[in-house]
Amino acid sequence: MKQFPQSKALQRLPDQFFATLVNKLNAFESKGHDVLNLGQGNPDQPTPGHIVKSLQEAAEKPVYHKYPPFHGFDFLKKSVAEYYKNEYDVDLDPNTEVAIMPGSKTGLVELSQCLLDPGDVALVPDPGYPDYWSGIEMVGATMKSMPLLAENQFLPDYDQIDEDSWNKAKMMFLNYPNNPTGAVADASFFEKTIAEADKHDVCVVHDFAYGAIGFDGEKPLSFMQMEGAKEVGVEVYTMSKTYNMAGWRMAFVVGNPSVINAIELIQDHYFCSIFGALQEASSTALLSSQECVNDLRDTYETRRDLLVGGLEAAGYNVQPCKGSFFVWLKVPEGYTSQKFADDLLESTGLFVAPGIGFGDHGEGYVRIGLNNSNETLEDAVERFKQFANS
């Protein structure tokens, strides 16, 4: 059979970390092992009933059986703007400052294609969400790592970025609440970000995937709440985490009009928008009572307390988890993150994500998801204790 070579763009792509993780998990489970999957960030709760009902009713409307508008229905863009006003007191023009996307993963890759050329530099958090790398590699740009260190509360130190990198940089990825560390950002950090981005003409892309999940009574800040944010960047928001809509593939990006125009332009060539009934159900989610979101946050906080308390009692070093649904665990002395994850799986059936998969500065940690019931997490704590005492 003739073999056709892949394009150079595909050859540049890094290994897909999460696909590799899933393959490893599946191979272990296929052998009949009892596995607790704490390695993925897949919401375990169902989509709230009123959102499902909205989809069911909307799916019967003939208007949605035709091609939707390329840029999405106006009603959804208006709902996004209203949501940001209700939640963050941010004013958005739905016509020029909101774009609809088929999932934030897609949008984060597209944004690199919109803003970068070969040889440009993108500033990337390390550790960070691996799919940031994909779009950068596709266009042949270069990544400059911004280490996220415990001593800096897992915030990048802009003073450590050399002037040459600043001058070559065209965009910067940020993500707070943070995957994988669980850290959050404060106003002073965002203000410094805006000042540096404005000075060096860098577009900030803030991945706000976990915006609804903040703990201890602290609501995570939206980057758009900061004065000048729209001048220097955009914020990407997914329905996946806030409303347990991961399989629905719905997201949006808000902020700088020139970037919104670019993302809509590239999507004109990739997609014909999203099924209208999905858009109507998303509008329902954004504008209905947010009690389901509050309940979800409380659920994750209870799980965090259970898991972190149990791990600390067993002698593990757990980093502060102020948001997201992940716990960032320092591996015991003498282990690499991969070795610890492998040994933990082999001896106890606990599946966690090794930190090295999120970047060089993820070495020495593993990421644990809170996407499991209290009973499962209690079982996990017992298995961690078993491992610690083995």
224-244 in b/e form (b: 16+ CB < 10 A) is bebeebbebbbbbbbbbbbbb
Q: What is the pLDDT of residue 36?
A: 87
Q: Which CATH class is domain 8-46+292-388?
A: alpha beta
Q: Which pLDDT does position 33 carry in this prediction?
A: 64
Share of the chain above pLDDT 90, in %: 86
Q: State whether CATH 3.30.56.10 applies to domain 51-287.
A: no
d(CA 277, CA 274): 9
Distance separating alpha carbons of residues 390 and 388, to the nearest angstrom: 6
At residue 116 the predicted structure's pLDDT band, cuts being 50, 70 and 90, is very high
Please tell me the predicted confidence (pLDDT) of residue 16: 65
- Burial code (b: 16+ CB inside 10 Å, e: under 16) for 58-75 equals beeeeebeeebeebbbee
Residue-level pLDDT at 5: 87
More confident site: 35 or 118:
118
pLDDT tens digits, one per residue of 214-257: 999 999 999 999 999 999 999 999 999 999 999 999 999 999 99
In the chain, where are the structural domains located?
8-46+292-388, 51-287
pLDDT at 31: 66
**Digit-coded pLDDT (tens) for 23-60:** 766 666 666 667 889 988 889 999 999 999 999 999 99
Domain 8-46+292-388 and domain 51-287, same fold? Reply is no
Confidence of residue 14 (pLDDT cuts 50, 70, 90): confident
Provide the phi-psi class of 287: left if phi over 0, else alpha when psi is between -120 and 50, else beta: alpha
